[in-house]
Amino acid sequence: MDKKIVVAGMLLPELSEVITKMGEPGFRAKQIMEWVFKKNTLSFERMSNLSAALRQSLDASMQVVSLRESRSVVSADKTVKYLFQTRDNNVIESVFLPESKRATLCLSTQVGCAFGCTFCASGANGLARDLSADEIVSQVLLIKNANPDTPLTNIVIMGMGEPLANYEQTLKAVRIMNSPDCIGIAARKITISTCGLPKEIMRLVKEGIQVELSVSLHAADDELRTSLMPVNKKYPLFELMNTAKEYIRQTNRIITFEYVLIKGVNDRKEDAQRLAALLSRIKCKVNFITLNELEDRKMFTSSPKEIEEFKQILDKRGIHYTFRRKRGRDIQAACGQLRMAHSS
């Protein structure tokens, strides 16, 4: 298969270099960027302020995006799950969450996942490969193109894969999404989620880009967290919490800890007490997620009574928390339900 240069994976200086090597003035790169990122144009042929000869040259050596939409499924709550085919015939999933005058997009960074969290479908078949920056950004461009009347206001990098295990490509994609020459989404409207990789979290601090950080926690003691998230065996809570404190100290930003409530596993009163104790001196908030049950996992959603009792304990300890709205569950697009597929 051809390996054309992909516009979706480039910042303006990179595209300018490519264009000048083609014998064209550098300002043509700015024009191309405007068509792609501002006007949602995915075809060089439609770039009417470029000469026909240049459009033909671009079409021969470049492409705008590196994914192809395989299909989409719409939920009763208007959430849309998109399946995109890669050039090597893997299929990844992205989720579009529209509201009245805004929308959030959930992106994948890997084909599958190597970390094997027990409540998440993404790692069911292991990791096939990392996505490139152009494949990550292509998800944004294709979904923007399909929804031109709904402004894209937030990006959450919480789909398939561990973003910080694909560090270089994820950060390149973030810079493209953040750049005013490209998509132009404010850094604070971009959230990177991680299962908790201390070295990469501290590396993120040094990048100087003010994205939001969300850490999957899901348990407040090592034995339970290791049973849910095998990564805890390598990076136990002591190391993760010290990293979180240092991240907060250096960035002066809060961390969000994700916590999926699983009936009889991590939703008991003693679990709430441990969680409150663990987070009592950390500048953070907890984002609770109701378990989205998977057919092949014997894990179940906590009852309203159990959730209320859990909340009451946190209220007494002054822990700030939110509950994530249930979106896209009926189309397997909710948190923890995205999984690797293969094209037929």
Catalytic residues: 93, 335
CA distance 285 to 322: 8
Q: How many C-beta atoms surround the C-beta of residue 235 within 10 A? A: 17
Residue 256 Cα to chain centre, angstroms = 14
Q: Which tokens hold the place of 303?
A: 């009852």
3-state per-residue secondary structure call for the chain: CCCCEEHHHCCHHHHHHHHHHCCCCCHHHHHHHHHHHHCCCCCHHHCCCCCHHHHHHHHHHEECCCCEEEEEEECCCCCEEEEEECCCCEEEEEEEEECCCCEEEECCCEEECCCCCCCCCCCCCCEEEECCHHHHHHHHHHHHHHCCCCCCCEEEECCCCCHHHHHHHHHHHHHHHHCCCCCCCCHHHEEEEECCCHHHHHHHHCCCCCCEEEEECCCCCHHHHHHHCCHHHHCCHHHHHHHHHHHHHHHCCCEEEEEEEECCCCCCHHHHHHHHHHHCCCCEEEEEEECCCCCCCCCCECCHHHHHHHHHHHHHHCCCEEECCCCCHHHCCCCCCCCCEECC
CA distance 245 to 259: 18
CA distance 216 to 218: 6
Q: Which tokens hold the place of 311?
A: 């909340």
- Counting every residue written for the chain, the total comes to 344
Q: How many C-beta atoms surround the C-beta of residue 342 within 10 A? A: 11
